[in-house]
Every structure is written in C-alpha cells, then in structure tokens.
Structure 1
C-alpha cells in the first residue's frame, strides 16, 4: 500500500508558524529536473502572501486605497539541498521582528509532510517595508503591526 501525503491545503497557522504546501511541477525545474533557484523565492513569496491573507492583512485593499504596498528591502537565502520534480514541499514562515514600517520573516523550505521528519532544503530571511505610493517608507496601516506581533507570539486567530 502506498503511503499517500496529506491532502493539499495551501496554508495554515500552527502556533507561531505559518505552513504552506507546494508541489514541484515540471515548469519549476531546469533540464536536470532540479528546481530553478529563483523558484524558491516564488515559493517563499506565495507563503508570505498566504500568511498575510490568513492573518487578515488585506494588501490589495491597502493598494487600492492608495495607502501603499509592501516591498522586499533585504533578502538572504541559503540553498542547502535541491528540490526535484514531484517533491512535496513545506514552506514554514515565522515573524521574527515587527517595526513601524517593516517586518522581518524567517522562512524554511522543507521536503516532506511535517516539520519533524522533513529535510531542510532552503532557508531565507526577508525584510519587507511598507512603502507609500511614492516609494517612501511609511507606517503600516493601523492594526497590522499588532497582527504581526500576535503571529510572532503564536496568537494566530484570524482576527
């Protein structure tokens, strides 16, 4: 009997961690069947966007209201092992620091079904700043810093 992976669920909070599943498809790989290096950043971006959505942070509404948008201002990434075609990956995101106009998020990409039996493939740390429509740093909209702090403290209710 084949031990099937759990059903695909885009993202969910487990304590202070946001966990987001990704399947590696042919389009994600190079000719050798290994995930192209830039796609790890895409996986991390999807996971961060899903984390914000689940936390009730409406990026689209902020942009449409003319408040501003997030921009990555610093990024560090360490590739440890390659992901391959058909791998079941787990992107784990954790808020590390919250400031008035920015947030620091640590992320890991794991191969496997849970954080205990997974192999770490990639580790990254991202600083995202909230920018005005003119591109200058500005305070996050009211309540967002509090939501990030709640996530960091493992208080992950969607409200």
Structure 2
C-alpha cells in the first residue's frame, strides 16, 4: 500500500466566489501545491538548471471530480498518492477532505500527470526523459505501482 502524503491548508477568501464557495480552478492549484510539498520533502525540485539544460515537470493531464462545496476558511486536508510511476511520467491522485473525525468529508478527487523533461537553457524544444533511478527510489514509498 502506498503511503499518502498529507498536505493541509486553509481556503482563503480570495479563492471563493460571492457565496463563499471555493472556485473549481483552485483545486488544480492545491493539487500542484501538494505535489510541490511532496517533492520538496523527498529532495526533488520541480524545476532545476545546470546553466546549460533546464529540467522540469510540465503537466500533460489534469482532472478533478467535485463531491461537495468547499467554503471560505475550511481547512483542506489533501492526501496525495502516486498512482503510477512510469518510465517518464508520474500519475498523482489527490483526495480532498474537510472536517475532522466523524465529521470528515471527502469533497473532491483530483488526478494529475506530470512528465519529466529537459530543454536547452538558451531555448529549444522540451524532450521527455526517463526518470533517474535515485528519483524513482525517493518517490517509491508514495507509489501504488512502478512500471518504469
């Protein structure tokens, strides 16, 4: 069983509409923030450069299913797991919750796929890369499946 990375944050007023309900687009930002926190925890940068080559993780797919509204000042608990690590990509699943104990509610489920890429610092096209073995090792505890 994959370990779920736990990420918490409050819903800010600026992330809501006039009814105090979080705008749907914020779930994608929150997924990305959870991913960034997970990668920081395992010592992996979302972007890096050696001065000649840039490395990064562009998203190639993202979706979110909403189960109930999230409101201003709700504390979100995001459980991020890696569904699959592929040769050049990582597929994430983010489960969003609000409340504690018996009042805890699953409010949304997001999915996101990021591809590991390189490009010349001076400009040029991106090229996908196989994930390095040390990177696979750092992410493995959070992965349900590795098919790299």
Counterpart in the other structure of 1:144: 135
Question: 1:96 is matched with which residue: 83, 89, 106?
Answer: 83
Structure 1 position 88, deviation (Å): 0.9
What TM-score, normalized to structure 1? 0.78
Structure 1 position 56, deviation (Å): 1.5
Structure 1 position 142, deviation (Å): 4.3
Question: 2:11 is matched with which residue: 15, 18, 24?
Answer: 24
Structure 1: gaps of 5 or more residues = 1-14, 154-159
Residue range with higher mean Cα deviation, 138-147 or 37-46: 138-147
Tell me if the contact between 2:5 and 2:80 (Cα under 8 Å) persists in the aligned partners.
yes
Question: 1:44 is matched with which residue: 31, 48, 51?
Answer: 31
User: 1:95 & 1:87 partners in 2: Cα distance?
Assistant: 25
1:88-144: CA deviation from partner (whole Å, max 9, x where unpaired): 110110111111211111111111246x75211110111110111132211224411
1:19-59: CA deviation from partner (whole Å, max 9, x where unpaired): 10010111110111100111111111100100011012133
Counterpart in the other structure of 2:113: 127
Structure 2: gaps of 5 or more residues = 120-124
Q: Which has the higher strand share?
A: 2
User: 1:150 & 1:119 partners in 2: Cα distance?
Assistant: 26
The number of aligned residues is 136
Tell me if the contact between 2:4 and 2:81 (Cα under 8 Å) persists in the aligned partners.
yes
Structure 1 position 70, deviation (Å): 0.1
User: 1:151 & 1:25 partners in 2: Cα distance?
Assistant: 28
SS of 1:122's partner is strand
SS of 1:40's partner is helix
Tell me if the contact between 2:60 and 2:115 (Cα under 8 Å) persists in the aligned partners.
yes
SS of 1:124's partner is strand
